[in-house]
């Protein structure tokens, strides 16, 4: 395979808080990291990304998904799959891993709820923005090591845990039912 320059030299771009590292000794499997942008629910979180470079790069986009769990309308809360045009039909050969990571950072700052990857999250984003922001901040705190705790939500989660439910499953159920304990319990028991 032909070796293209990925522009990862000096992989840490401190100013933008993005970085790329190799998984093994090849350039085809990479781990990316972006820091959640300030003044968003993702502020200060460290989000890991799995990046796979196809043989046809840069004529086809890299395959990117979130490894760190995240609550965002355009990212699956289950698989981490991303819905972003430049990773699909809007890719251009002049883009680089740097521009991809910066675009993902921008996606965290500006969601597109009308083109969702996760319908449940998108619905909450559109209909109940305050709950959405709290939930996203809570997930950032728990999974991405973000600095902001959501004590109100933690209390509700604690109640579900005391009922014997697995923490992560309880968090997903509560997040998906706008933190209504009764509805979350129901969905946990029927699933």
Partner 1 sequence: MKMAVIDPAENEVNKNIWIAVGTWRWVANDDNCGICRMAFDGCCPECKLPGDDCPLVWGECSHCFHIHCIVKWLNSQQVHQLCPMCRQDWKFKE
- For partner 1, the binding residues (CB under 8 A) are 2-5, 7, 56, 58-60, 92-96
**Tokens 């959501």 sit at which residue?**
150
Residues 6+ apart with CB under 8 A from 42: 36, 70, 72, 108, 136, 137, 140, 144, 146
Q: Which of 83, 84, 107, 184 is catalytic?
A: 83
Residue 27 C-beta: closest distance to partner 1, Å: 13
Residue 4 or 29 having the CB closest to partner 1: 4
Q: Are 40 and 109 in contact (CB under 8 A)?
A: yes
92 vs 119 by CB, closer to partner 1: 92
83 catalytic residue (yes or no) = yes
Cβ atoms 43, 36 nearer than 8 A: yes
CB of 51 to partner 1, least distance (A): 17
| Sheet-wide strand order for 63-66 | 18-22, 29-35, 46-52, 63-66
Q: Minimum CB separation from partner 1 for residue 38, in Å?
A: 30
91 or 139: CB nearest partner 1: 91
Indicate which residues carry an active-site annotation: 83
């Amino acid at each position: 395979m032909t070796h293209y320059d990925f522009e990862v030299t000096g992989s840490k771009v401190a100013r933008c808080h993005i970085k790329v590292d190799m998984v093994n000794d090849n350039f085809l499997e990479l781990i990316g990291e972006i820091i959640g942008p300030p003044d968003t629910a993702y502020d200060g979180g460290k989000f890991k990304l799995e990046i796979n470079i196809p043989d046809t790069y840069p004529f086809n986009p890299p395959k990117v998904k979130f490894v760190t769990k995240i609550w965002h309308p355009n990212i699956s809360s289950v698989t981490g799959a991303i819905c972003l045009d430049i990773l699909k039909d809007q890719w251009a050969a002049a883009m680089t891993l740097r521009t991809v990571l910066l675009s993902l950072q921008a996606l965290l700052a500006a969601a597109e709820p009308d083109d969702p990857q996760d319908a449940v999250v998108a619905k909450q984003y559109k209909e109940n923005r305050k709950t959405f922001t709290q939930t996203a901040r809570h997930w950032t705190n728990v999974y991405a090591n973000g600095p902001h705790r959501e004590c109100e939500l933690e209390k509700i989660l604690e109640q579900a845990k005391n009922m014997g439910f697995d923490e992560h499953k309880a968090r997903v159920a509560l997040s998906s039912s706008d933190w209504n304990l009764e509805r979350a319990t129901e969905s946990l028991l029927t699933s």
